[in-house]
Structure 1
Amino acid sequence: MRGLKEVVKLEFPGARFQVCVLHAVRDSLRIRRNKERDRIAEGLKGIYKAVSRKEARQGLMKFKKRWGRIYPELVKKWEENFNELTTFMKYPEGVRRFIYTTNQLERLMKGYFDEG
């Protein structure tokens, strides 16, 4: 069975995929020790708040150096999903905030289905 991404690429070959950064961050913090959450969150900002993919990659390397031995699975997730976590950086800064998270889309759909 094909996944959604593969099916979309068949129908829309030029489509770009963006993993919701907010959900990725929340997922990354959910299973961490309370005393480390703030420092991990701050390290992740070095990735998704970067102004370019190059800077984001540097942020990821810094994050890996700091947390890779303690949380290798966390770092691996961000490495494996880096391209889809930073797709929004290919767009002008003015629209990035609408692309990097699905919250606005979720809010729209919730309102649509709650009213209907």
Structure 2
Amino acid sequence: MILGVDKEGYREIFDFFVGAARKRIWMAGDSSIALQKRRTRWGVFDCLSWLEKAFQTVYPKADVQRCVVHRVRKTLHCIRRKDQLEVAEELKLIFYLHRNKEIVIQMFQQFESKWSSKYPRENKSWGNELDVILTLMDYPSSIPSVIYSTNAIKCTIKEIRNN
């Protein structure tokens, strides 16, 4: 699903693809005519690296935002159960409660130093992705709540399935 969001946070479905067709369409660069008419500033992605690369091919000047919710969930699957609650709370403090990019980076560095010896692989992957996780902080405060996650798309798809 291609979901557009304007400056006020209003959402509009631009296009919807079913099944494997979306990969073929995006890889060929044949994005929706409705989408092509609009100025695309960013794309929000979960773990579909091919889709992110295809988007950047079609829209090379647009920013990419990695879904924070998916990234946190992925991390928690790799954390020992006894540490999950503490790690989740710290990530929530870092990425959901602060709007200042410098403060978030400082807090992440503290998180990284605390957990790096216990979870070096997860810390490294967060560090490698931090720039695309923090893209949302380069936009006005009305936008991040809409683009920090792909959940709006998932909720819309669920609603369509139920009807």
TM-score by length of 2: 0.63
Uncovered stretches (5+) of structure 1, i.e. residues with no partner: none
* Alpha-carbon distance, 1:113 to partner: 4.1
Say if 2:65 and 2:147, in contact at 8 Å, map to a contact too. Answer: yes
Aligned to 1:82: 130
Corresponding residue for residue 48 of structure 1: 95
Between stretches 3-12 and 50-59, larger displacement belongs to: 3-12
1:68 aligns with 2:116: yes
Mean Cα deviation higher: 17-26 or 37-46: 37-46
% identical equivalent positions: 30
Larger helix proportion of the pair: 1
Q: 2:58 aligns with which of 11, 23, 33?
A: 11
CA distance in 2, matches of 1:14, 1:110: 31
List per-residue Cα deviations over 1:41-64 (Å, max 9, x = no partner).
122124313212211111110011
Q: Would the alpha carbon gap of residues 23 and 6 (structure 1) be closer, same or farther in structure 2, given more than 3 Å must change?
A: closer
Normalising by structure 1, what TM-score?
Answer: 0.86
Of residues 22-31 and 3-12 in structure 1, the stretch that sits farther from structure 2 once superposed is 3-12
> Which residue of structure 1 aligns with residue 83 of structure 2?
36
Q: Which residue of 1 aligns with 2:16?
A: none
Structure with higher Rg: it is 2
The one of 95, 102, 106 equivalent to 2:143 is 95
Distance 1:45 1:94 in 2: 19
- Would you identify which runs of 4 or more consecutive aligned residues in structure 1 move more than 4 Å? none
* Cα displacement (A) at 1:82: 0.4
Q: Secondary structure at the match of 1:92?
A: coil
Which has the larger strand fraction? 2
Q: RMSD in angstroms over aligned alpha carbons? A: 1.9
Distance 1:25 1:10 in 2: 27
8 A contact 1:68–1:75 mirrored in 2: yes
2:151 and 2:82 map into 1 onto residues whose CA distance is 27
